[in-house]
A and B are shown apart, each in its own frame.
Chain A
Amino acid sequence: MDSRRTVNVNLVGLSKADYNGSASTLCQGCGHNSIASQIIQVAYDLSIKPQEIIKLSGIGCSSKSPAYFLGQSHGFNSLHGRMPSIATGALMANHTLKAIGVSGDGDTASIGMGQFKHMMRRNVRMVYIVENNGVYGLTKGQFSATADEGQELKYAGSNELPPIDICMEAIMAGCGFVARSFSGDAKQVRELLKAALSHRGTAVLDIISPCVTFNNLDSSTKSYGYGKDHEEQLHDIGWVAPQEEIMIDDYEPGEMKVVEMHDGSHIQLRKLDQDYDPTDKMGALHRLLWAQEKQEFITGLIYYDGHRQNLAESSHLPAAGLASVPAEQLRPSAASLQEIMAGLL
């Protein structure tokens, strides 16, 4: 790097360009690109080395996007609906890595529903982003399982089936960090991403990300127009790094809730909805059902529970990870084999 030029760097000495990926091949204006930009921004802001991150995906438009951020991170573009199993194995082999998974509504709520739910049930530590647009883009415009009942699409006609709500599924599966946002709300996406990276289990971000090509009629709840008009924020969210002091005094008492993450960081939730408590599971489900009924979409941290052990923790793995166990520790001694053989005589 030319030392005479001034380049902004973060705490690990990297410039924001070090977090870029290759150029996106998604449609212009696709909400997914905006999310990729926020991932770059957040990783830079948090001074996470790209080498400490793995990025994973399934198949679909959304799943292409890991190529468009963090080019210095290892990545795995896997099979349709099967990213959770790849992530589970990778994180068991090396639990010191931070994982960011990007999926879509087809990849998660249809073909991948089983793996999605079991990953959360196991509490695999990863940020699992669903770029949710209610439509299959790469195959040109079929309904996904999150499409609204009664929704019209150009080629697919009218959807007769009720939508699957990814946040409700996540809560029911035992996920301890369930949030919803809108790809057009860059600040909220960023703050939720930061908090999600601090969470020690599965963190699900259901991000409504309109498909500009196949599903952007204002009548669709997953369009830009609908999102802007109907977004109801549960709270104004701010994430505070562990080393920063929390400035509670900045807010009026009673209007703010501070949720402490396991690593000492905090999420500040400035309440817009006076009754909302993201640690109340029943309340969260009730609020989601209510929103579904009204075709509103609520955004923010919908449910939080930081108490469950994650899969790596309950597996008593060596500190450096299974992948780093040296070969001489992998093979038990000759004497131990002799003893076993003696027992089988």
Chain B
Amino acid sequence: MEALQIAPQTAVGERPSVVNDFSIVAATANGTGSQTANLAILRALFKMGIPVNGKNIFPSNIQGLPTWYHIRVSHEGYVARRHTSEVLIAFNAATVNEDIRILPPGGICIYNEDWRSLPQRDDIVTYGIPVNQFVRDSGFKGKQKDYITNMVYVGAVAQLLEIPLQKIEEALEYLFNGRRKLIDSNMGVVKAAFEWVAANIEKRDPYRVAEMNATEGQIMITGNEAGALGSVYGGATFVAWYPITPSTSFVDALNDYLPKLRRDPETGERTYAVVQSEDELAAIGMILGAGWAGARSLTATSGPGISLMAEFTGLGYFAEIPAVIWDVQRVGPSTGLPTRTGQGDVLSTYYLGHGDTKNVILLPATVRECFDFGTTSFNLAEQLQTPVFVLSDLDLGMNNWMSEPFEFPTEPINRGKVLTAQDVQEKGFARYLDIDGDGVGYRTLPGNEHPLGAWFARGTGHNEKAVYSERSEDWVNNMARLQRKFDTARQLVPAPVVDVVPEAKVGIIAYGTTKFAVDEARDRLAANGLPTSFLRVRALPVNDSVKEFVAQHDRVYVVELNRDGQMHNILQTEMPELAARLHSLAYLDGMPLTARWVVEAIMAQEGK
């Protein structure tokens, strides 16, 4: 697939410039403060108006294990991971051999020249930097030396790629929150390296950046921060959680935003509470207890936590208690790859709970959707009186993404069908009676003052009045009503985003962050003579528009980040009559999906 070649095959010495279209990877050791250096580069590029995306590929470790930070710059605005990075910042002696081995021909390597030997390759450009000298000259001691080491590569990269120092300084001002002393000391090292490279290194590679105007007015934020912020504006009142990567920063963000936005500065009174529970079983128990008593409650977790929440999810589904569970997916089974991204919880979460349990799931792909689903998730949970899951992933949750600024929610806060004492007096009350034919009963909250206003929440079989029942008829009626409610959910959840290309015979279905690889892949496929349509599922259960999409195309590829094609599985079950048109393209290696993988997989299937 020559036309799809991403890295230019340029011999060393030739230099048709490659401007704003390559990837950088910084290889460092975890816990050395390299994150600040990486974010400084990312942010400087962003403020140069160039579309960028940063992805932290990090280990489950506090200190010492290798970590790689990928920055993609793309004048075309692509933000999916690239399969290769042309610019290597080799600052981890432990991984340098492998890092250099996988560098594409024509790539460049910026390394610490104090190291004795580097693997020899004559098809790359290497730039040695006397890192130890800069560190010595900086006057920093101990732990600070590590941090300063990273600022050396910031300066070197800025010089080599032509990032103005001013942009680096602005980035550091942002990252250090205006703390002048920190900014100045770091900038001192950046400048020294910047100037040393200018004076001592002759640039022998084609990669550089140039200012654009493509990020004007945009923000940069992680999905976890966006989801937390959206939940605050969605009216979250109660949060219970247990720390787990990669969802922890979601709650960190809540703990950051809630006191600023929902605490009375005079009385200190709060319209929220956050409890760190003893485990995920308690976390979901607490949010269900709070949901039952009238709070808008949420927890954030990841795969192992979801497994622990299975029994309570069934109770929430069956007793019909609203609650919101954010699952920032990582790679399983078991502990798996706890710091890597995937989409492996779709099937298990859809059916989480024993017996005939089925759950409503939201599938955000962008930080904007994380924000918007903050309101949507609570509204759906209370309208449908059921636990609602939001399946994000590590790539979306923990990495920084560009976005248009979030708009103030237009969706009003909807508390669903809740009866006051007055309502009970006027209309009577039977908890699970399907008055409206949508499968959703009316509920009362504890504290309702009417003598007939109480009901007994239970996981045992019950009749329409929530009274214990083992009668077969009651069981069948109740489960049929729950199914009716699930069908109501199809119409209430966010609709898919559909782009139908009239002449396309091939359709692609994806969800979550694989969107970005698919967006890019579709452009390449189209350029290769294969136009495709695209439907992005944003929630489960799906509605008829997905069926229509599948029916409109000869072959539909379901692209996802797991081994078994979980969404493919669900969609085939939803539309058995169209199952033969659905083809699974599932792959998971712990890394965000690349456009190249999507293109190659579809071309292979299409016999091209």
Interface residues, chain A, with chain B CB atoms under 8 Å away = 18, 22, 49-52, 54, 66-67, 71-79, 82, 84-94, 96-97, 114-115, 118, 122, 311, 315-319, 321-325, 327, 329-332, 334, 336-338, 340-341, 344-345
Complex interface: chain B residues within 8 A of A75 (CB): 454-458
Distance A273 CA – B412 CA, assembled complex (angstroms):
63
A341 CA to B456 CA, complexed, in Å? 44
On whether the beta carbons of A92 and B232 are closer than 8 Å, the reply is no
Q: Which 8 A-B pairs have the closest CB atoms?
A: A85-B285, A89-B289, A323-B294, A330-B235, A89-B290, A89-B286, A93-B295, A93-B293
Is the CB–CB distance between A74 and B270 below 8 Å? Answer: no
A90 to B457, CA, bound (A): 12
User: A317 near B270 (CB under 8 angstroms)?
Assistant: yes
Contact between B261 and A90 (Cβ–Cβ < 8 Å)?
no
Closest-by-CB residue of B relative to A66 is B456
Indicate if the CB atoms of B285 and A78 lie closer than 8 Å. yes
Q: How far is the CB of B551 from chain A (nearest CB, A)?
A: 40
B444 contact set on A, CB distance < 8 A:
74
**Is the beta-carbon distance between B285 and A115 smaller than 8 angstroms?**
yes
Given A72-B451, A85-B281, A79 and B217 touching (CB < 8 A)? Answer: no
B292 contacts A by Cβ under 8 Å = yes
Residues from chain A with Cβ under 8 Å of B294 in the complex: 93-94, 321-324
Chain A residues near B275 (CB, 8 Å)? 88, 92, 122, 311
Interface string of B299-337 (1 = CB under 8 A from A): 000000000000110010001000000000000000000
Q: List the B residue with the shortest CB-CB distance to A80.
A: B311
Assembly CA distance A88 to B413 (angstroms): 25
Complex contact B468–A67 (CB within 8 A): yes
Shortest CB-to-CB span from B356 to chain A, Å, is: 18
Check A89–B408 contact: CB distance below 8 A: no
Asked if A332 and B233 make an inter-chain contact with CB atoms under 8 angstroms apart, the answer reads: yes
Contacts of B144 in A (CB 8 A): none
Interface 1/0 per residue, B246-264 and A, CB below 8 Å: 0000000000010001110
Say yes or no: A323-B451 contact (C-beta < 8 A), given A115-B278, A331-B409. Answer: no
Interface CB pairs A-B, < 8 A, 25: A22-B467, A75-B454, A75-B458, A77-B456, A78-B459, A82-B282, A85-B240, A89-B291, A90-B292, A90-B446, A93-B289, A97-B446, A114-B282, A115-B281, A316-B263, A323-B237, A327-B235, A330-B237, A330-B296, A331-B235, A332-B232, A340-B229, A344-B219, A344-B220, A345-B217
Whether A94 lies near B261 (C-beta < 8 A) is no
> B527 contacts the other chain (Cβ, under 8 Å)?
no
In the complex, A93 Cα to B240 Cα: how many Å? 12
Residues of A within 8 A of B451 (CB): 18, 50-51, 72
Contact status B235-A79, CB under 8 Å: no
A226 to B485, CA, bound (A): 53
What is the CB-to-nearest-CB distance from A142 to chain B, in angstroms, rounded to a whole number? 20
Picked from B261, B270, B292, the residue with its CB within 8 Å of the CB of A86 is B292
- Taking a contact as CB atoms closer than 8 A, the residue among A84, A90, A318, A330 that contacts B293 in the complex is A90
Query: A51 contacts which chain B residues (CB < 8 A)?
Result: 447-451, 453-454
Inside 8 A of A321's CB, which chain B residues have their CB?
A: 294, 447
User: Which residue of chain B has its CB nearest to the CB of A336?
Assistant: B261
Contacting pair B282 A115 (CB below 8 A):
yes
A245 CB → nearest B CB, Å:
32
Q: A74's closest neighbor in chain B, by CB?
A: B446
Chain B's nearest CB lies how many Å from the CB of A14?
Answer: 9
**Hey, which chain A residues are within 8 Å of B262, CB to CB?**
330, 332
B406 touches A337 (CB 8 A): yes
Check A331/B234 contact, CB under 8 A, given A88-B289, A90-B289, A311-B275: yes
B422 at the interface (CB under 8 A from A): no
- Total count of chain B residues near the partner, CB < 8 A: 75
In the complex, A174 Cα to B412 Cα: how many Å? 43
Closest to B415 in A: A327
Q: Which residues of B contact A50 (CB under 8 A)?
A: 451, 454
Q: Is the CB of B446 within 8 A of A94?
A: yes
Whether the Cβ atoms of A118 and B278 lie closer than 8 Å is yes
Is B528 part of the contact surface with A, judged by Cβ < 8 Å?
Answer: no
A334 to B407, CA, bound (A): 8
| Cβ-defined contact, B446 with A322, below 8 A | no
Q: Which residues of A contact B292 (CB under 8 A)?
A: 76, 86, 89-90, 93
User: Does A114 lie within 8 Å of B293, measured CB to CB?
Assistant: no
B311 partner residues in chain A, CB cutoff 8 A: 79
Instruction: Check if B488 is an interface residue, CB within 8 A of chain A.
Output: no
Contact A337:B408 (CB < 8 A) given known A327-B413, A330-B296, A332-B233: yes
> How far is B453's CA from A97's CA once the two chains are assembled, in angstroms?
15
A33, B470: Cα distance in complex, Å: 22
Contacts of A90 in B (CB 8 A): 289-290, 292-293, 446
B279 within 8 A of A: yes
In the complex, B156 has a CB within 8 A of chain A: no
**A282→B277 CA distance, assembly (Å):** 29
Q: Does B460 contact A (CB under 8 A)?
A: yes
* B261 pairs with A322, CB closer than 8 A: no
Residues in B with CB closer than 8 Å to A94 are 293-294, 445-447
Assembly CA distance A74 to B321 (angstroms): 14
Known: A51-B449, A318-B270, A331-B235. A344 touches B221 (CB 8 A): yes
Q: Tell me which residues from 213 to 237 in chain B have a Cβ below 8 Å from any Cβ of chain A.
A: 217-221, 229, 232-237
Other-chain residue from A66, A92, A334, A337 in contact with B290 (beta carbon distance below 8 A): A92
Question: Which A residues are CB-close (under 8 A) to B236?
Answer: 330
- Asked whether B312 lies within 8 Å of A79 as measured between CB atoms, the reply is yes
Residues on the B chain within 8 Å of A72, using CB: 451-452, 454
Q: CB distance A315 to B273 under 8 Å?
A: yes
Q: Mark B10-30, 1 if CB is under 8 A from A, else 0.
A: 000000000000000000000
B576 within 8 A of A: no
- Interface membership of B268, Cβ < 8 A: yes
Given A51-B447, A94-B447, also A85-B454 (CB < 8 A) = no
| B-chain residues with CB within 8 Å of residue A319 when the two chains form the complex | 269
- Is B237 a contact partner of A322 (Cβ separation < 8 A)? yes
Closest Cβ of chain A: how far from B348's Cβ, in Å?
Answer: 19
Residues of B within 8 A of A317 (CB): 269-270, 273
Instruction: Given A67-B456, A93-B237, A323-B445, check contact A78 B315 (CB 8 Å).
Output: yes
Q: Determine whether the beta carbon of B413 is less than 8 Å from that of A89.
A: no
Q: CA–CA, A211 to B181, complex, Å?
A: 72
Are A331 and B413 in contact (CB-based, < 8 A)? Answer: yes
Provide the bound-state CA to CA distance between A97 and B448, in Å: 11
B97 proximal to A (CB < 8 A): no
Residues A85 and B282 in contact, CB atoms below 8 Å apart: yes
Question: CB distance A337 to B233 under 8 Å?
Answer: yes
A89 and B295 contact, CB distance less than 8 A: yes
B295 contacts A92, CB within 8 Å?
Answer: yes
B47 CB, min distance to chain A CBs, angstroms: 9
B277 touches A118 (CB 8 A): yes
- Nearest B residue to A57 by beta-carbon distance? B458
Chain B nearest Cβ from A54, distance in angstroms:
5
Indicate if the CB atoms of A92 and B271 lie closer than 8 Å: no
Beyond the given A85-B281, A89-B287, A325-B271, could you list 17 further A-B residue pairs with CB under 8 A, ordered by the A residue number? A51-B454, A52-B447, A71-B454, A74-B454, A77-B456, A77-B460, A79-B311, A84-B282, A92-B290, A93-B292, A93-B295, A97-B447, A118-B282, A330-B413, A331-B413, A334-B408, A344-B221
